[in-house]
A = this chain, B = another copy of it.
């Protein structure tokens, strides 16, 4: 099977031109097929503020009313996505910027209201693997913005980590997939304040323990849940690292849980 690297970049790195430029340069040097997934929440918050729209968050997830949906569609699918595409083209990557609505790439369902009404937020139902396969085989580099659609004409704001994880899972049947979540920190840290306390590898059991003791919290929880889902679904390698380590092999490696490993060995 061919190698496919999926890089998900969020936080500061997609908003600070110099950081983004360096990341895209490193990304361009990765061999084999590639997909880039980006966030952009902070910039969306800033532009929403300027437009007089208040951003509401719950456990690191944005509550998306109709006006906020317009802002994230503008910022993610427009401003950030197209700037990344243009910069990749300058690096000789034949990039194509897409949301889940384009080519019906990612169908999602508006999140049902339980305790909290997240508004126009989508939970991914289906990823169009054949279309992505075709693009990759034609040597295009998909650049995915975290917006999906419900198939009835409604765009939905969707967590970028989840999008990266779902794409990795859907393509694990046709590629050796390596999924790299990159952000500001050097990996999952044992001590938030110590950049040298990177946990080199982590399995599900350890994750649960770290969660209980509060070492892993907030936005890291859904990130790691996406990572474990991907590993369990056959993604070869999942790494959480910082943007400047996209090519160095440093960071936190996600390890399949023991039971799952044994099951696979038995088969």
Please list the residues of chain A having a beta carbon within 8 angstroms of any beta carbon in chain B. 47, 50-52, 70, 73-79, 81-83, 85-87, 89-90, 94-99, 101-104, 134, 138, 140, 147, 149, 151-155
Contact = CB atoms under 8 A, between A and B. Distances in A.
- Identify the interface centre among A50, A73, A99, A151: most chain B CB within 10 Å of its CB: A73
Contacts of A99: 82, 85, 97
Contacts of A52: 50
B89 A82 contact: no
Contacts of A149: 85-86, 89
B73 A101 contact: no
Contact of A82 (B50, B73, B104, B151): B73
Please report whether the interface of chain A is mostly helix, strand, loop or mixed according to DSSP. helix
Given A47-B74, A82-B147, A90-B153, 7 more contacts: A50-B50, A77-B97, A82-B102, A82-B155, A89-B151, A94-B103, A95-B101
Nearest to A85: B101
16 contacts: A50-B50, A50-B51, A50-B52, A73-B79, A76-B78, A77-B77, A77-B82, A78-B81, A83-B155, A85-B101, A86-B149, A86-B153, A89-B101, A89-B153, A95-B102, A96-B98
Contact of A79 (B78, B81, B97): B78
A154 B78 contact: no
A76 B77 CA distance: 10
Contacts of A95: 101-103
A75 B77 contact: no
A242 B87 CA distance: 37
A80 to B, nearest CB: 9
B90 A97 contact: no
A222 B156 CA distance: 37
Given A74-B75, A78-B75, A78-B79, A96 B103 contact: yes
A15 to B, nearest CB: 12
- Identify the interface centre among A51, A70, A89: most chain B CB within 10 Å of its CB: A89
A11 to B, nearest CB: 20
